[in-house]
């Protein structure tokens, strides 16, 4: 049985890539006009370098399309919500730069966000790496990769841009292991090698861990979060509007290991960065692996 399929073709509207662009920035957006405008404005305002922006509009409307056309921003459009997997992959069809960046539409990039990422990229001697910026969020969750900060606004209408720009550097953090969170940059050759995001995870639950596992399977071991590259995350809950796929079960069935074990023991997600990740020691989680295997076999 097919659980998710497109009811109509995705439309593509290309524009010429800006000269000297460093990153091709992919942004899927679902009826978040104000968020989309703000993140694009912040890229233009706060980037050190010139970049190519590539957008996918889920249930695209005239307002967002006119805005993108006015700025000569390449974009794809679907008349239904096709999710983030198809959204990122469609936007990637326009990517012409050597490096691809994935970012959400409910983010605001702070000054030099791209400089710190590109500085790390330039240190690499091969394409097998995955590098992230660090999200700043106003509410606390147990995630060492996230920078907890005060509330600068839950949406663009109440956004305290001035306060954020004055204070974003004052929050202490450290480079962290695991990458995974957006903004995320990788070599375009590696994106092509692993085939982008897996559309069987549409509309998108657990597509990020699956993406990381595909990178791991391809030989990537340099997963690093850069603390100096910071974005404010509005935490817009688009996922509350969708019928979710059972991503946890899909991940376990596909990779024969749970995401929790993969994130903690392979990626060491959120831990202080100490270097490239070697083969993990799973001797301490043998019982957990057996339980995962039983769940997978009995489809629990």
Q: What's the mean pLDDT when you consider all of the chain?
A: 91
Over the Cα atoms of the chain, what is R_g? 19
Confidence of residue 244 (pLDDT cuts 50, 70, 90): confident
Q: Which runs of consecutive H residues, i.e. helices, occur in 151-275?
A: 161-167, 188-194, 207-218, 247-255, 259-261
Better-scored residue on pLDDT, 285 or 184: 184
Residue percentage of the chain with pLDDT more than 90: 76
* 195 has a pLDDT exceeding 60: yes
Enter the tokens of residue 224: 């690093």
Predicted local distance difference test score (pLDDT) of residue 288: 66
The first and second tokens of residue 68, run together, are 């993108």
Position 140 scores a pLDDT of: 66
pLDDT value of residue 1 = 39
Q: pLDDT tens, 159-183?
A: 999 999 999 999 999 999 998 889 9
Q: Mean pLDDT throughout 102-115?
A: 98
**At what angle are helices 247-255 and 286-298 packed, to 10 degrees?**
110
Residue 273 DSSP label: P
Gap between the Cα atoms of 66 and 69, Å rounded: 5
What residues contact residue 130 under an 8 Å CB cut-off, 6+ apart? 179, 184, 185, 186, 190, 212, 215, 220, 222, 223, 224
């Amino acid at each position: 049985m097919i659980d998710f399929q497109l009811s109509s073709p995705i439309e593509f509207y290309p524009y010429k890539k800006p000269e000297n662009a460093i990153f091709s920035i992919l942004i899927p957006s679902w009826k978040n006009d104000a968020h989309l405008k703000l993140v694009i404005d912040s890229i233009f305002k706060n980037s050190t370098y010139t970049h190519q922006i590539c957008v996918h509009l889920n249930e695209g409307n005239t307002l967002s399309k006119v805005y993108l056309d006015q700025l000569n921003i390449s974009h794809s459009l679907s008349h239904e919500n096709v999710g983030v997997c198809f959204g990122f992959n469609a936007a990637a069809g326009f990517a012409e730069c050597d490096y691809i960046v994935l970012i959400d539409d409910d983010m605001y990039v702070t000054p030099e966000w791209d400089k710190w990422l590109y500085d790390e990229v330039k240190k690499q001697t091969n394409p097998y790496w995955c590098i992230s910026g660090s999200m700043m969020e106003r509410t606390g969750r147990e995630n060492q990769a996230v920078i907890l900060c005060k509330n600068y606004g839950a949406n663009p209408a109440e956004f305290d841009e001035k306060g954020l720009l004055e204070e974003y550097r004052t929050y202490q953090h450290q480079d962290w292991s695991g990458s995974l969170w957006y903004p995320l940059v990788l070599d375009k050759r590696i994106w092509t090698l692993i085939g982008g995001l897996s559309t069987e995870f549409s509309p998108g639950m657990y597509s990020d861990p699956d993406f990381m596992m595909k990178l791991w399977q391809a030989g990537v071991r340099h997963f690093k979060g850069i603390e100096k590259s910071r974005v404010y995350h509005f935490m817009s809950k688009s996922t509350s509007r969708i019928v979710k796929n059972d991503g946890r079960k899909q991940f376990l069935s596909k990779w024969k290991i749970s995401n929790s074990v993969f994130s903690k023991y392979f990626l060491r997600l959120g831990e202080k960065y100490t270097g490239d990740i070697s083969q993990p020691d799973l001797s301490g989680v043998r019982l957990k692996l057996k339980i995962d295997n039983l769940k997978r076999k009995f489809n629990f």
